Amino acid sequence: MMKQCLILGDGVSGRAARRLAELLGMKAEILSDPAPVPPDEAVEKCSLIVTSPGVPPLTSPLWQAAARRADRGEAEFISELEFGFRNLPRRRCIAITGTNGKTTTTELVCHLLNAVGVPAVPAGNIGVPLADIAADMREGKLPPETFPVVEVSSFQLERADTFAPVAAALLNLESDHINRYAGGFEEYCEVKRRIFRHVPEENRVFGLSLPASRRVELREARLYVDGRELIDTGVTRLQAPHNQENLAAAVELALRLLPAEEVFRREFVEAIRSFAPGRHRIELVAERDGVRYVDDSKATNPASVLAALRTLPRRRCAVLLLGGLDKGMDFTPLLEEKERIRFAVLYGACRASIAAVLDGNIPFAECGTDFEKAVMTAAGHALPGDTVLLSPACASMDMFRDYRERGDRFSEAVRTLLAER
């Protein structure tokens, strides 16, 4: 009898899980809330249930019904990440999690490994589900020796019981996605640490902000491996302090796969020099009349906004665009750099929560859900030498498809504004 697989969530991860399930000979069905029948009835005939990361445990009736069925021992309930990992032909991957820096570090590890002949592809939260990578390998579209380098969110780790990367990194832990977890920040951190559940201790990598013994050190903007200088980060495009930390973690991970002499090869060092962080990460859009316009749409929590503000040259202030979807975060840390913020423009669903923190500390204006008006207002408050900085501290899905669309809309609004001047 054909095994039945129920997949929760019809997004990119859900469709990837269905593709892999069908490739494995299963009968696969995708369901999203609200289900056409009562949730317990919807899940009762399936022995395997795979959840997409975007399905929220606290509010999804389907997720909760699946968990009840699994608790009774009637079905296996796993994440798409777990499903993909179990079906990698060699069950090998590298995994990277943390609140900030995951995408850049994932891209950088792939870039470095490929430079020295180790085939690697980015996967996971970066946009290509691990289930798709597993399917591609099984169909011969990727060679089986390929190393998936997996960006892993806390959502993906929630039901990943046997996920066992060869090496894994936890870059940092900051307040984020608090509305996802009944246990708040402590539960969020506990879920993040699950990335190490099946990783040998010697292959666990921690970001520079976390206590750990390490082979890679950063001293005065120079990177050292086992006490030997590897590169001066001043000759790279990773000069911002947070990107230097990402680089250190990437090299630490590479050392878990490569002998030390490999990271000193010309090809490896040149790969560090040539790497450029992806779009929407402190990306200069335009400069006019002494004002810089910078897209940092990838900044979806206060810690990442602080990192962006700290890249500004001294005496340069920001006019900051803040707002978006509320994830239950505390915005008080923004005040740590209030001297760098000349003015803030608030928009989107959680503008009132941000306003409550800024009130009496940083001058601001609210622009509702009119994003183009928000950009225009920010530009109007900028003085020569200032930076108009889109670094929202929030998720984008209240007004945009994702952070990429938000960043593109900012760039378009800036170009339109400057063309009219």
Q: Which residue do the tokens 């190490």 mark?
A: 196
DSSP structural state of residue 385: T
How high does pLDDT run on average in the chain? 95
Tokens coding 31: 């369901």
Domains of the chain: 4-80 (3.40.50.720), 83-274 (3.40.1190.10), 283-419 (3.90.190.20)
Query: H or E element: which one contains 150?
Result: strand 147-151
Beta bridge partners of 159: none
213, 311, 322, 324, 347 from 379: Cα distances, Å:
46, 20, 14, 19, 15
Segment 371-396 shows an average pLDDT of 97
Burial class (CB in 10 A: 0-12, 13-18, 19+), 259: exposed
pLDDT value, residue 176: 84
Query: H or E element: which one contains 159?
Result: none
Cα–Cα–Cα angle for 317, 320, 324, nearest 5°? 165
Query: H or E element: which one contains 357?
Result: helix 351-358
Q: Give the confidence band of 129 by pLDDT, cuts at 50, 70, 90.
A: very high
Percent of the chain beyond pLDDT 70?
100
Q: Give the confidence band of 335 by pLDDT, cuts at 50, 70, 90.
A: very high
Tokens coding 356: 């409550």
Burial 16-48 (b: 16+ CB within 10 A, else e): bbbbbbeebebebebbbeebeeebeebbeebeb
- Let me know: does 223 contact 248? Beta carbons within 8 Å: yes
pLDDT, one tens digit per residue, over 75-91 is 999 999 999 999 999 99
Segment 379-404 shows an average pLDDT of 96
- Let me know: does 215 contact 252? Beta carbons within 8 Å: yes
pLDDT, one tens digit per residue, over 182-192 is 899 999 999 99
Q: Give the confidence band of 2 by pLDDT, cuts at 50, 70, 90.
A: confident
Distance from C-alpha of 410 to C-alpha of 321, rounded to nearest angstrom? 10
Amino acid at 255: L
pLDDT value, residue 273: 97
Nearest Cα neighbor of 243 from 211, 268, 208 is 208
Distance from C-alpha of 283 to C-alpha of 389, rounded to nearest angstrom? 10
pLDDT value, residue 179: 85
The sign of the dihedral angle between the CA atoms of 49, 55, 61, 63 is positive
